[in-house]
Amino acid sequence: MTQREVVALLFGGRSSEHSISCATAAGVLAAIDRDRYDVIPIGITRDGAFVLERDDPSAFALNPDHLPEVTDNGSRVRWPESATSRELTVTDAGGQTRSLGDVDVVFPILHGPYGEDGTVQGMLELVDLPYVGSGVLGSALGMDKHYTKTVLMQHGLAVAPWVTVTKRSWRDDPASVRAAVSEIGYPVFVKPARAGSSVGVSAAADDAALDAALETAFAEDDKALIEATLTGREIEVGVLGGRPGEPARASLPGEIVVSGRGFYDFAAKYLDAPGIDLVCPAPMDAAQLAEVREQAVRAFDAIGAEGLSRVDFFLTDDGFVVNEVNTMPGFTPISMFPKCWEASGVDYPALIDELIQLALAKREP
């Protein structure tokens, strides 16, 4: 019998997307192939402590009345002290330390700052632990919407007009910000530069609404983007990295159909709020299908992404416009990324397996 590979599943974290990370972990814990993998569930509390969690998907199920959370149970997981070891240890609440054994790969299902932005990836690089997803640079670029747009433009991909505003510049010179926004034209969308899951995102139709929208965005980040509102269909494409020497692959595109909500917000994404339908595959002609998949792979490659990403577009009268590149997209079983790959012939357990194998293949000599 082949020995099972050991996966350290890392979730929770210090960002405002903590609960979504926990819900994603529940999906992975329930679906991962237990004949092939042993799982060590490691939660990160909102204060940043690494704790050993129960291997129980139901403990982190997404409930609108009680969002899942990593609580501090007193245990502390310790990472290897150098690149010469892959052994994890845990000290329990009573002070007793034991080995958790060697880890083959880390699966960091972390959304937002302190996890999706290259910080955890850097920690894992320091001790030479293989991990799922993009490296330090790709993660950092994908997390910061300003730099994502800048890089995509340099690679010839269309992006929405935008203004980047810091909390300080808004405080010190709001008139200049308003002047820049007037060149874009209302209505606009205001987003934290380094957050996801639509947290802190709101629309603004005039100067008064802009004040409130920036206040909401600055509660999540000290840098915000003010983007032109685009009219068009919302299209999303899942991308999987290639094995060494092979190109990345794009899924069939999905479409977010909004009917009765202002936009695809947090409640619609994760709490099954009405007014949104996810359609995959999205109806489009062969030329559009080929173009959006090609652009998704170009965007993935442009920021140096690895493993997985979801590339979001608007399909306007002038063609496709890239909205964002998410290097650790929503990964619950009902999220768009798994849905698009399921429509493309890769079901949820197989998708988990492919991501783990991509991470391991990246480290093969």
Alpha-carbon distance of 332 to 336, in angstroms, equals 9
Contact by Cβ (8 Å): 248, 301: yes
Active site residue 310: yes
pTM for this prediction: 0.90
pLDDT for residue 212 is more than 90 = yes
pLDDT for residue 279 is more than 80 = yes
Which of 270, 306, 309, 344 is catalytic? The answer is 270
Percent of the chain with pLDDT over 90: 84
Both tokens of residue 188? 């606009």
**Amino acid 270: pLDDT:** 52
Neighbours of 52 (CB within 10 A): 20
Alpha-carbon distance of 143 to 122, in angstroms, equals 14
Q: 162-228 maps to which CATH number?
A: 3.30.1490.20
Instruction: Report the sign of the C-alpha dihedral through residues 10, 12, 17, 22, in that order.
Output: positive
Instruction: With CA atoms as reference, report the closest residue to 48 among 70, 67, 28, 26.
Output: 70
**Amino acid 64: pLDDT:** 74
Matching fold, domains 5-131 and 162-228 = no
**Residues in contact with 222: Cβ distance below 8 Å, sequence separation at least 6, in sequence order:** 166, 167, 168
pLDDT digits (tens, 9 = 90+) for 105-123: 999 999 989 999 999 999 9
**Amino acid 362: pLDDT:** 85
Contact by Cβ (8 Å): 173, 192: no
pLDDT digits (tens, 9 = 90+) for 76-92: 999 999 999 999 999 99
- Residue predicted with more confidence, 2 or 61: 61
Instruction: With CA atoms as reference, report the closest residue to 296 among 331, 322, 257, 330.
Output: 322
Active site residue 330: yes
Mean pLDDT of 50-61: 94
10 Å CB burial of residue 91 (0-12, 13-18, 19+) is middle
Which of 104, 117, 144, 324 is catalytic? The answer is 324
* CATH topology assigned to domain 5-131: Rossmann fold (3.40.50)
Q: What is the largest CA-CA distance in the chain?
A: 69
10 Å CB burial of residue 138 (0-12, 13-18, 19+) is buried
**Amino acid 309: pLDDT:** 98
Neighbours of 173 (CB within 10 A): 12
Active site residue 227: no
**Amino acid 261: pLDDT:** 47
Which of 323, 326, 335, 344 is catalytic? The answer is 326
Active site residue 92: no
pLDDT digits (tens, 9 = 90+) for 309-351: 999 999 999 999 999 999 999 888 888 999 999 999 999 999 9
Active site residue 324: yes
Which of 310, 335, 342, 344 is catalytic? The answer is 310
Domain ranges of the chain: 5-131, 142-159+230-362, 162-228
pLDDT for residue 228 is more than 50 = yes
Give the CA angle between residues 223, 228, 233 to the nearest 5°.
Answer: 120
Q: 142-159+230-362 maps to which CATH number?
A: 3.30.470.20
Looking at this protein, which amino acid is placed at residue 339? K
Which of 16, 17, 142, 233 is catalytic? The answer is 17
